[in-house]
Amino acid sequence: MKKRVSVVGLVVIVALAVVSLSSIASADEIKMVGVITKIDIAGKDAKTATVTLKDNKTEQSITLIVNDELTLDKFKDHRIVEGDEIRCKYEIRDGKNISTYFRKTAGC
């Protein structure tokens, strides 16, 4: 009986640890919706782009670095252009805003 209580207690402690660590890891991700004011791609074969968005809620400009190939292709063939409204998520790494999700609000 004591063994069963010990095992249950251990399972509860592990579950609480997992939940608390997962909330810490996701706390760094920031969500926003904004309009693209500037897209800067370094060249045709560039593996990164710098995008400036105007946040719809705060009216502040946010600069993001986009590394995802699908989004870069959409920039290059003009499926995503300045003036489009974007829903995005980003993380702050080494003082830079790195995009983790970047989509038009209307789809694409």
For residue 45, being part of any structural domain is answered with yes
Which residue range(s) make up the domain with 86?
A: 30-104
For residue 4, being part of any structural domain is answered with no
CA nearest to 53, candidates 72, 67, 40 = 40
CATH code, 71? 2.40.50.140
pLDDT per residue over 35-79, tens digit each? 999 999 987 788 999 999 999 999 999 999 999 999 999 999 999
pLDDT at 26 over 50: no
CA nearest to 52, candidates 82, 87, 91, 94 = 82
